Structure 1
Amino acid sequence: MSGVPEGVPCLLMRGGTSKGAYFLAGDLPAEPALRDDLLLRIMGSPDERQIDGLGGAHPLTSKVAVVSPSADPDTDVDYLFLQVAVDRAAVSDRQNCGNILAGVGPFAVERGLVAAGPERTSVRIRMVNSGDRATATFPTPGGRVDPTGSAEISGVPGAAAPVLIEFPPGPRPLLPTGSVREEIEGVEVTCVDNGMPTVLIAAASLQVTGYESPAALEGDRGLAGRLRAIRLEAGRRMGLGDVTDTTVPKLTLLAPPREGGAVTTRTFIPVRCHPSIGVLGAAGVAAGLRMEGSVGAGPARLEPGVDRMRIEHPTGFLDIETSLGSTPEGLPSVRRTAVVRTARKIFDGTVFPRSAGTAPTHPHPLGEQR
């Protein structure tokens, strides 16, 4: 029937502490502008409630994975992550997402891109956004993805099958600015990139404790202004250019641990305060804490000789393993990063986008844009 939008095959999954729509690349337009317009209509943006689409009115539930067979002989699939803005007509490919990454391996098996093993399956993944690689290993008893298991992660109720994600060293320097510690806007920071451009800041240097709730931190207008200024300059120094309209670099405030972990964190993505912490953001924190002289050296409580550390966040913790080496120039470099996540298929079917040209006239009905 004329005017009726065509449906698109889609698998909605929870990956880690995020939720997103997973698509085969061949089911979406190849032209980025057409693809992004379609995804905005599928997710229901721009609208603070995303009431007319799949999105959940928060950056953590407005995510998309586009997966395809990889032409790289060293990887099985390519994974493009797209962050769909909630209250703006914007789609960004400027970052990776380690939580949505947790669902890419199971999705690849579900869609027949990778054959399942009789007990476990490992899927080698190229993250198109950055060129980084990861290997996801998960149970496939009887040659089928089985999401049931006993692994628990903070921020997700219940338990599920573990997805072990291992990250080899990426192609970019761990210290994009070449400095372990530097000053931006009068605040000492450490800029790292262990799969996600991240700026580490001691919470006390911004006159907050680092134990505040996300809502309290988001409501602090003075803090928001300082963080914005730091982020813009850090982005420039890290080689990211003008980051005004992007979601990277992330900013993570650090404070001494309260629950027996290595450090307490509050992460901004980039304006909203994360209710937990992203996998790749945690990888950056873990690497930063291990650098002598970094801003994390003060707040951190590390166990000598142990690769695993527990990173505390507003809703619990994330355990991650990281070990460092050094470059020929004597700068820190990453040897290995590994983390356990979980993922679960929520539905598999056809999604019907909003009709083209029907974006809301007033995309911010519930208040000003944040």
Structure 2
Amino acid sequence: MTSPAEVRCMLMRGGTSKGAYFLADDLPTEESVRDELLLRVMGSPDPRQIDGLGGAHPLTSKVAVVSPSADSEADVDYLFLQVAVDRAEVSDRQNCGNLLAGVGPFAVERGLVPAGTDETSVRVRMVNSGDFATATFPTPGGRVDYSGDTEISGVPGRAAAVVIEFPPGRDELLPTGNVRDTVGGIEVTCVDNGMPTVLIPAEALKITGQEDPKDLESNRELTARLHDIRLAAGHLMGLGDVDGTTVPKLTLVSAPRHGGAVTTRTFIPDRVHTSIGVLGAASVAAGLRIEGSVAHGIAALPDEGDRLRIEHPSGFTDIESSIDRTPEGGLRARRTAVVRTARKIFDGIVFPVPRTGGH
């Protein structure tokens, strides 16, 4: 399939991110051709992405590619692609739990999954990692209903709840095999509960962890140090050379200020998330539960129940998280569930920047 001059596309907000959703059949099958097309769709490389759908930020320069799944455990496959803003790069090195919130509704909208009369559950295989999730959302009368009373921090107004539940983890939570590792002269905890994440005590970096994201981004000494920590942690976590990729995420943790379990600031990798990703929150929550982790002693854990409130720059994310031991004595996630919202913004045709067009 050659690169088309126009493509069917649905723009959706999923959680606290926004992205372009495509059926796999509507895109070129050859990866290099597909990626070149998506750069033109999103308007990259350009700091403002002025000639495309992108919103000049990693959280609004995302793509979901959805197709029927051949896996008996899933209804659809979801491939997440991060389109860089200011460089010609498309990465499939990570999942996105925020765009995941829109995958189920999109699958129903495109006829990949039949809608239930009241609500619909869509089983999703996340192609990037091979992990699974089930998204449940309202479909009264057999149509997706995006309106509702659920509020999530980082998104104005209210919308219908999308409950995303992840099956018990099959892999160990600690990819290095250690509860703590020393990286760049400080102790960290490397955890992966759907998103490779490095937990770092903010005070170890001589900051409070309460700073505004822009102030953290402009702290060149801090960002240079975090860059080195991320590269070293990537090797320890078995990810290889992570230079030029967005994983692992680095999450700075400090004591909660508003009644939650912990305060977070997450680098993705150079910009600071204005909230926190769903899978990133899942990894942080699991890390809080691990006795001896760098976050365990900082966190204010509830006396009972699985629900944890993760504080972030624009509010909080509630996530239910519990862990247990593997038969071999390691640690794995027993339950992870989160409530998000999603909304269809437009459904139509996108016209990519012509190859011969100039800026």
| C-alpha RMSD over aligned residues | 1.1
Residue number in structure 2 paired with 1:276: 275
Code of the residue aligned with 1:210 in structure 2: it is G
Residue number in structure 1 paired with 2:46: 47
Code of the residue aligned with 2:195 in structure 1: it is M
Code of the residue aligned with 1:299 in structure 2: it is I
Question: Separation in 2 of the partners of 1:112 and 1:284?
Answer: 32
Residue number in structure 2 paired with 1:194: 193
| TM-score when normalising by structure 2 | 0.98
Residue number in structure 2 paired with 1:366: none
Tell me if structure 2 keeps the 8 A contact 1:5–1:355: no
Tell me if structure 1 keeps the 8 A contact 2:261–2:299: yes
Q: For each residue in 1:10-69, what CA deviation from the matched residue of structure 2 results, as whole angstroms up to 9, or x when unmatched?
A: 000000000000000000001110000000000000000000000000000000000000
Residue number in structure 1 paired with 2:332: 333
Residue number in structure 2 paired with 1:14: 13
Tell me if structure 2 keeps the 8 A contact 1:325–1:332: yes
Question: Separation in 2 of the partners of 1:358 and 1:271?
Answer: 30
Residue number in structure 2 paired with 1:313: 312
| TM-score when normalising by structure 1 | 0.95
1:43-82 equivalence runs, <5 A? 43-82=42-81
1:1-370 equivalence runs, <5 A? 6-358=5-357
In the TM superposition, residue 287 of structure 1 has moved relative to its aligned partner by: 0.1
Q: For each residue in 1:179-199, what CA deviation from the matched residue of structure 2 results, as whole angstroms up to 9, or x when unmatched?
A: 011100111100001000000
In the TM superposition, residue 306 of structure 1 has moved relative to its aligned partner by: 1.4
- Segments of 5+ residues of structure 1 without an aligned counterpart are 361-370
3-state DSSP of counterpart to 1:152: coil
Among all aligned residue pairs of Structure 1 and Structure 2, give the percentage whose two residues are the same amino acid. 73
Tell me if structure 2 keeps the 8 A contact 1:252–1:268: yes
Following TM superposition, the consecutive aligned residue runs of length 4 or more in structure 1 with deviations greater than 6 angstroms are none
Question: Separation in 1 of the partners of 2:174 and 2:356?
Answer: 44
Question: Separation in 1 of the partners of 2:32 and 2:168?
Answer: 32
3-state DSSP of counterpart to 2:266: strand
In the TM superposition, residue 269 of structure 1 has moved relative to its aligned partner by: 0.2
Q: For each residue in 1:133-185, what CA deviation from the matched residue of structure 2 results, as whole angstroms up to 9, or x when unmatched?
A: 00000000000000000000000000000000001134432110000111001
In the TM superposition, residue 358 of structure 1 has moved relative to its aligned partner by: 4.3
Q: For each residue in 1:201-247, what CA deviation from the matched residue of structure 2 results, as whole angstroms up to 9, or x when unmatched?
A: 00000000000000000010110111001100000011110000100
Code of the residue aligned with 2:56 in structure 1: it is A
- Segments of 5+ residues of structure 2 without an aligned counterpart are none
Q: For each residue in 1:238-275, what CA deviation from the matched residue of structure 2 results, as whole angstroms up to 9, or x when unmatched?
A: 11100001000000000000000000000000010000
Question: Separation in 2 of the partners of 1:353 and 1:85?
Answer: 16
In the TM superposition, residue 331 of structure 1 has moved relative to its aligned partner by: 1.8
Tell me if structure 2 keeps the 8 A contact 1:193–1:284: yes
